[in-house]
């Protein structure tokens, strides 16, 4: 009886250690939500379906930041996203921001495509070249309908 209790306690302890290891791995993989010593840029989208606070911001597929706020501009009826970026990242003024998805059923992210301008965007400035999300159902209906 004592042997069974001891083995159950050891098995339970092993499960807790493994669970703690997974928790630490997930915490490291997630990374910080916003850069500590960074800045924000804004981008207005016609449609920002799938974008939420915490959505990844990527350049060339590499995560460089996250969406820190998402609001509706009552004057233009566009979704305005605030993008938190690291302070050492200098983006040209002709950078484009695109709401993209990872495949048909993948998650949404904001892709930044740097341009070739010599001037750079400063903290609080806006990315003016934007492309909103594409509604997959509407796109499929156009293909099926022959439009």
Q: pLDDT tens digits, residue range 26-58?
A: 666 555 444 457 999 999 999 998 899 999 999
CA dihedral angle for residue 68, residue 73, residue 76, residue 77, rounded to 10 degrees: 90
- The full length of the chain comes to 147
pTM here is 0.69
Does residue 116 share a domain with residue 53? yes
Q: Which residue has the tokens 């974008």?
A: 51
- Which residues form the domain of 6? 1-30
| Residue 147 falls inside a structural domain | no
Domains in the chain: how many in total?
2
**Cα–Cα distance between 29 and 32 in angstroms, integer?**
9
Does residue 86 share a domain with residue 21? no
| Residue 126 falls inside a structural domain | yes
| Residue 93 falls inside a structural domain | yes
- The beta strand positions in the chain, using DSSP E, are 38-45, 56-59, 62-73, 78-86, 96-101, 108-113, 126-127, 129-131
124: left (phi over 0), alpha (psi -120 to 50) or beta: left
Q: pLDDT tens digits, residue range 59-109?
A: 999 999 999 999 999 999 999 999 999 999 999 999 999 999 887 677 899
């Amino acid at each position: 009886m004592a042997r069974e209790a001891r083995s159950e306690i050891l098995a339970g302890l092993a499960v807790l250690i493994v669970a703690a290891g997974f928790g630490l791995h997930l915490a490291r993989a997630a990374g910080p939500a916003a850069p500590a010593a960074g800045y924000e840029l804004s981008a207005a989208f016609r449609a920002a379906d799938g974008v939420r606070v915490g959505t990844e911001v990527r350049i060339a597929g590499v995560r460089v930041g996250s969406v820190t706020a998402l609001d509706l501009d009552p004057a233009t009826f566009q979704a305005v996203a605030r993008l938190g970026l690291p302070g050492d990242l200098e983006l040209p003024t002709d950078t484009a921001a695109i709401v993209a998805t990872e495949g048909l059923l993948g998650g949404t992210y904001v892709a930044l495509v740097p341009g070739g301008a010599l001037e750079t965007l400063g903290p609080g400035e806006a990315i003016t070249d934007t492309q909103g999300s594409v509604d997959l159902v509407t796109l499929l209906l156009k293909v099926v309908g022959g439009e």
